[in-house]
């Protein structure tokens, strides 16, 4: 077996220690960068769920009600607490729509009254 001189072993240990310290330092730098990014970004996101039906815009609310009631077309107008509007299904029945949003409860409720007497209501909540 071949033995290395003590000076080479010391150099090797020193080199390994330096690499190890650099690896630790690099991961600490990376962790610091991630922590800073999260600290800056998280407050702007807020505590609301990303998909709060109580805060949906007209496009998202239209998409939802269209799918729920199998409507061909939907027209909504923003109100103080949600939307009102009309929708038409494939058979030509027209629906009067009232969508009520409750942001603090992550909830959207809907009432639909059809021109042929059809009545439907329901809600969507992320709670």
Name the residue ranges covered by the structural domains of the chain.
Answer: 1-47, 53-125
Residue 80 pLDDT class (50, 70, 90 cuts): very high
* Residue 87: burial class (beta carbons within 10 Å; 0-12, 13-18, 19+): buried
What pLDDT is stored for residue 127 in this prediction? 84
Of residues 65 and 46, which shows the higher confidence score? 65
What pLDDT is stored for residue 29 in this prediction? 72
> Encoding tokens for residue 2?
């071949």
Say yes or no to pLDDT of 47 above 70. Answer: no
Say yes or no to pLDDT of 94 above 70. Answer: yes
Element (H, E) at 43: helix 6-45
Residue 5 pLDDT class (50, 70, 90 cuts): low
Say yes or no to pLDDT of 91 above 60. Answer: yes
Arithmetic mean of pLDDT, 80-106: 97
Arithmetic mean of pLDDT, 93-101: 98
């Amino acid at each position: 077996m071949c033995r290395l001189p003590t000076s080479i072993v010391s150099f090797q240990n020193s080199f390994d220690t330096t690499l190890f310290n650099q690896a630790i330092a690099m991961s600490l730098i990376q962790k610091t960068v991630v922590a800073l990014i999260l600290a800056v970004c998280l407050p702007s996101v807020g505590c609301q769920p990303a998909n709060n039906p109580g805060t949906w815009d007209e496009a998202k609310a239209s998409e939802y009600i269209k799918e729920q009631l199998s409507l061909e077309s939907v027209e909504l107008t923003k109100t103080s607490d949600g939307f009102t509007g009309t929708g038409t299904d494939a058979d030509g029945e027209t629906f009067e729509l009232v969508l009520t949003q409750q942001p603090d409860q992550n909830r959207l409720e809907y009432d639909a009254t059809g021109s042929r007497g059809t009545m439907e209501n329901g809600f969507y909540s992320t709670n």
